[in-house]
Amino acid sequence: MKRLLNQQPSTAGRMLLSSLPFLVLLLIYLVASDLRLEANPSDKLLPSFTQMGEAIQRMAFEPNRRTGEYLFWVDTFSSLQRLLLGVLIAASFGLLIGLLTGALPLVGASFSPVLTVISLIPPLALLPVLFIVFGLGEVAKVALIAIGITPFIARDMQKRTLEIPREQLIKAQTLGGNTSQVLIRVLLPQLTPRLLDAVRLSLGTGWLFLIAAEAIASTEGLGYRIFLVRRYMSMDVILPYVAWITFLAFLLDWLLVSVNRKLFPWHGHGGGA
Amino acid sequence: MIEVRNLWKNYGDKVVLEGINARVEEGEFITLVGASGCGKSTFLKMLLGTETPSRGQLLMDGQAIKAEPDRDRGIVFQQYSVFPHMTVLDNVIAAEGFKQPGFTGLLWGKKRREARKKAQVLLEKVGLSASAQLYPHQLSGGMRQRLAIAQALLGKPRILLLDEPFGALDPGIRKDMHELVLDLWRTEKLTVFMVTHDLEEGFYLGTRLWVFDKLRQDPQAPDAYGAGITYDLPVGQPDPKELETIEENLKGSTHD
Ligand SMILES: Nc1ncnc2c1ncn2[C@@H]1O[C@H](COP(=O)(O)OP(=O)(O)O)[C@@H](O)[C@H]1O
Ligand SMILES: [Mg+2]
């Protein structure tokens, strides 16, 4: 018998081991839910899977009686739209700011301190300001997400830009490259996969801001729905919604990882020497 | 072509180089040896334009050498000299693109086809055509340096600067690289400055060998004095006794 330190799971074993915690959690939930419902059939805290299935059936596959909309999909669509728009704006600005402050010492000297200060402002504290300035519509929510994660992405991009070996910039200049050529041909392509990594890291924060904004002022959206049905203690809606949000987050993360691996096979090989 | 007049370099209180005087003619192949940390790379950086002399003058054709890198001076570092996000072929084509004045340095249409053809010829010459579609991280260290050297020469530099380019390579591969460098030096009529920690390599490759070492020492203040050129030897037929003396001196001196 090998020491525990040196024991590796087989491929099948690894799959079994990784699914085990999920199965255990599921089992615990089932048992707990059964026990509570047995004691009190109208208990709302831990709905059974049947109850949740019915709730989703109602939300996703039957038109709403009042509006005729399929609420689940309306919520999903508007939330994803806000999130992706906000992240896209943040990524564009973050990349631009990070690239320029990292690559051009003059720009870096003027903007790095202010960037540091801005990144310290808690974005949620700005939410009222955004609502006042942009009204309660879509713009404020998208702006919160964009403002919330732009500083992080910008600072990360600045750091990544500075990490690219100076030797490459010098080499390009000895071949005749001018400033814009070095930025576009040497730095920008190498920052792209790093940008996707930064976006992955900031998506969690993005969801946070999205749900917060939707909870406060909205008429549809995943976060809005959760906070709305909370008033009726509708755990049969809340729990599937949370699971759905988790799944969407997982999907986005997986998509970004796949894109990075497909499009940038050279990424993650230590600067290439 | 290059003239060094009483050149000094210090970082703060630390004197790295002091009182360097030299003249270098077009076509010379100068090898620089010396203890690690004595300022060889610093000297190369001043030739390259990424560092400026603290005192004295560094002239090229009678003018102060430009204080930023340009096409006159090609460079190969020990590592990180090629673009990791481009295939071998794209690395060479990109070098053609940088020669163009445009905003992006991208080549299109006829220009791109021509650059591609030229790149393939060059890769053939340096023995990399079979690896044209690979990324640098997929190459061996020797192949990567081959690419770096080939690429550096695309700008048609007058001076080629090499900072321990083969320091990380196996001895067997170095032999091939020596032939490549000598061949290119002859055909492209370059002036070469090459830092090496291998004295024999220095003697074999160069037409002239510089030994960097401290001229004076203050044991109380090791940073007070910098290194200068203690030997400036024309090489070709090295005198074995001299080689031995220098080797002894190098081993004896520690500056780090
Ligand atoms: N940017 C810098 N700031 C301060 N000290 C430096 C800097 N660059 C090099 N040095 C110092 O200058 C000395 C010479 O360095 P270098 O030229 O790299 O030596 P070599 O190439 O001969 O090994 C070293 O002691 C190093 O610590
Ligand atoms: Mg060095």
B56-72, pLDDT tens digit by residue?
999 999 999 999 999 99
Q: Does pLDDT of B100 surpass 70?
A: yes
For residue A77, give the nearest of A236, A262, A214 by alpha carbon.
A214
Would you list the DSSP string of A89-111? HHHHHHHHHHHHHHH-HHHHHHH
CA neighbours within 13 Å on the CB side: how many for B129? 10
Domain membership flag for residue A169: yes
CB nearest to A174's CB, from B74, B82, B104: B74
Instruction: State whether A181 and B105 contact (CB < 8 Å).
Output: yes
Domain membership flag for residue A13: no
Domain membership flag for residue A47: no
Residues of B in contact with A161 (CB under 8 A): none
- Please, what's the b/e burial string for A120-130 (b: 16 or more CB within 10 A of its CB; e: otherwise)? eeebeeebeeb
* Angle, vertex CA B133, rays to CA B78 and CA B121, nearest 5: 80
Instruction: State whether B151 and A184 contact (CB < 8 Å).
Output: no
- The reply to whether ligand 1 has any atom less than 6 angstroms from the CB of B11 is yes
Query: Residue A49, Cα to own-chain centre: how many angstroms?
Result: 27
Domain membership flag for residue A268: no
| Cα A15 to averaged position of ligand 2 atoms, centre (Å) | 50
Q: What is the largest CA-CA distance in chain B?
A: 65
Instruction: State whether B70 and A173 contact (CB < 8 Å).
Output: yes
Nearest residue by C-alpha to atom 7 in ligand 1: B11
Residue B224 DSSP symbol: S
Alpha-helix runs per DSSP H in chain A = 11-39, 49-61, 71-103, 105-120, 123-134, 138-163, 166-174, 179-181, 188-216, 222-229, 235-263
Instruction: State whether B75 and A186 contact (CB < 8 Å).
Output: no
Alpha-carbon gap, residue A234 to A246, rounded angstroms: 18
Instruction: State whether A165 and B50 contact (CB < 8 Å).
Output: no
Domain membership flag for residue A28: no
> By the 8 A CB rule, do A193 and A182 touch?
no
Q: Which pLDDT belongs to residue A273? A: 45
CB nearest to A168's CB, from B83, B154, B157: B83
Within 8 A by CB and 6+ apart from A60, the residues are A70, A71, A72, A73
> By the 8 A CB rule, do A179 and A232 touch?
no
- Interface check for B144 against chain A (CB to CB < 8 A): the answer is yes
Candidates A161, A167, A175, partner chain B, best to mutate (most B CBs within 10 A): A175
Determine the residue of B41, B51, B225 to mutate for testing ligand 1's pocket, defined as the one with the most ligand atoms within 8 A of the Cβ atom.
B41
For chain A (273 residues), the mean pLDDT of every run of 10, in chain order, is 92 94 96 94 92 95 92 96 98 97 96 93 92 92 95 96 96 95 96 97 96 93 95 94 97 96 88 46
- Interface check for B142 against chain A (CB to CB < 8 A): the answer is no
Alpha-carbon gap, residue A187 to B88, rounded angstroms: 18
Q: Which pLDDT belongs to residue B222? A: 80
Q: Which pLDDT belongs to residue B170? A: 86
Residues of B in contact with A180 (CB under 8 A): 103-105
Domain membership flag for residue A113: yes
- Per-residue pLDDT band for B254 (boundaries 50, 70, 90) equals low
For residue B18, give the nearest of B26, B28, B10 by alpha carbon.
B10
Question: What range does the domain containing A118 cover?
Answer: 75-263
Nearest residue by C-alpha to atom 8 in ligand 1: B42
Q: Is pTM, for the whole model, over 0.80?
A: yes
Instruction: State whether A181 and B141 contact (CB < 8 Å).
Output: no
Q: Which pLDDT belongs to residue A92? A: 98
Instruction: State the closest ligand 1 atom to the C-alpha of B212, by its place in the atom list counted from 1.
Output: 22
CB nearest to A272's CB, from B137, B151, B152: B137
- The reply to whether ligand 1 has any atom less than 6 angstroms from the CB of B40 is yes
- Interface check for B205 against chain A (CB to CB < 8 A): the answer is no
For residue A97, give the nearest of A156, A137, A12 by alpha carbon.
A156
Instruction: State the closest ligand 1 atom to the C-alpha of B39, by its place in the atom list counted from 1.
Output: 17
Instruction: State whether A273 and B105 contact (CB < 8 Å).
Output: no
| Cα A137 to averaged position of ligand 2 atoms, centre (Å) | 60
Q: What CATH number corresponds to the domain at position A89?
A: 1.10.3720.10
Residues of A in contact with B97 (CB under 8 A): 181, 185
- Total domains in chain A come to 1
Q: What is the pLDDT of residues A86-137, one digit of tens each?
A: 999 999 999 999 999 999 999 999 999 999 999 999 999 999 999 999 998 9
CB nearest to A272's CB, from B75, B82, B106: B82
Q: What are the start-end ranges of the E strands in chain B?
A: 2-11, 14-24, 29-34, 55-60, 63-64, 73-76, 159-163, 191-195, 208-214, 227-234
Residues of B in contact with A181 (CB under 8 A): 97-98, 102-105
Domain membership flag for residue A208: yes
- The reply to whether ligand 1 has any atom less than 6 angstroms from the CB of B36 is yes
> By the 8 A CB rule, do B60 and B79 touch?
no
Sign of dihedral through CA atoms B198, B199, B203, B207? positive
In B, minimum Cα distance to A264 occurs at B85
Q: Which pLDDT belongs to residue B256? A: 46
Q: What is the three-class DSSP state of A147?
A: helix
Ligand nearest to the CA of B15: 1
CA neighbours within 13 Å on the CB side: how many for B177? 24
| Cα B42 to averaged position of ligand 1 atoms, centre (Å) | 6
Domain membership flag for residue A57: no
Alpha-carbon gap, residue B147 to B74, rounded angstroms: 13
Ligand nearest to the CA of B214: 1
CA neighbours within 13 Å on the CB side: how many for A160? 28
Alpha-carbon gap, residue B95 to B152, rounded angstroms: 8
Q: Which pLDDT belongs to residue B191? A: 95
Alpha-carbon gap, residue A195 to B36, rounded angstroms: 38
Q: Which pLDDT belongs to residue B219? A: 82
